[in-house]
Amino acid sequence: MYLSTLDLSVKMRFLKDIFYLFYPNLCVNCEVTLLQSEQYLCITCTNNLPVVDDNEHVNVTLKSIFYGKVDVKNVRSFLYYQKHGITQKIVHQLKYKNQSEIGQYIGNWFGNNLKEAEVFKDVDYIIPVPLHKKKLKNRGYNQVTEFGEELSRVLDIEYKPNVLIRTSISKTQTLKQRFERFSNNKTKFKLTNKNIFENKHILLIDDVITTGATLEACCNELLTSKGIILSIATIAYTPRV
């Protein structure tokens, strides 16, 4: 029987889901058995999380990703992202439905840090970078939903998905990197209602900032809303070397 790549990836995901159903209590990073008091990460890995410092230098660096592209008020990121590192594993887990609650765990931690720093206290709505309908159908959910909903709960700011939508499917990450300039042009976002965000401060959230191109495309569409102010918060970012 012909087995398409999609079928295979769905089956692999199914097998992984089954695996986690029976072995749910392993550290996401080092895979040691977790103690009852531990959630998702063992204490050693929790202490080794590459949490981004909330200081002026880092905040300016994060904001500078968008300099000359779009005007953003504040940019914050929770973790440093490195290939094969702990953050990559966490972000990967978000893509498996029965492990995606880790987004809530991260959202709670990050949300409390942000609340203490009072950086987003005048934000009106939190919105996610949307997935394309087809991708949403395949995965069944947006991987940043649990993260966003938890930020919304901790910061007491309304979470508003579905106003900003994605109108074309993006290439895979690998192809995206290879054909950066071309794929960016194909990613289009659309506001289904331009009035709702007028004169509002919006916190746009995503999993990882790499080049910032996707977030930039979202911002460009959001900026068609009169008087809008934009800020960005992500689970992780890849520092430039």
Which residues form the interface with Zn ion (CB under 5 A)?
27, 29-30, 42, 45
How far apart, in whole angstroms, are the C-alpha atoms of residue 204 and residue 232?
A: 5
Nearer to Zn ion (CB atom), residue 8 or residue 43: 43
Residue 99 CB, nearest approach to Zn ion (Å): 14
Nearer to Zn ion (CB atom), residue 39 or residue 113: 39
Nearer to Zn ion (CB atom), residue 75 or residue 90: 90
Do residues 84 and 122 lie in contact, with contact meaning Cβ atoms separated by under 8 Å?
Answer: no
Residue 33 CB, nearest approach to Zn ion (Å): 10
Which string of DSSP letters, residue by residue, matches 127-191? EEPPPBHHHHHHHSS-TTHHHHHHHHHHHT-EE-TTSEEE-SPPPPHHHHHHTHHHHHHH--EEE
Nearer to Zn ion (CB atom), residue 27 or residue 191: 27
Q: What does each C-alpha distance from 117 to 71, 76, 153, 221 come to in angstroms?
A: 21, 11, 16, 28
Tokens representing 53 are 């410092």
Residue 184, judged by CB atoms within 10 A of its CB (0-12, 13-18, 19+), counts as: middle
| SS3 assignment, position 206 | strand
Residue 103 CB, nearest approach to Zn ion (Å): 18
Residue type, 159: Y
Nearer to Zn ion (CB atom), residue 32 or residue 165: 32
Residue 37 CB, nearest approach to Zn ion (Å): 14
Residue 43 CB, nearest approach to Zn ion (Å): 8
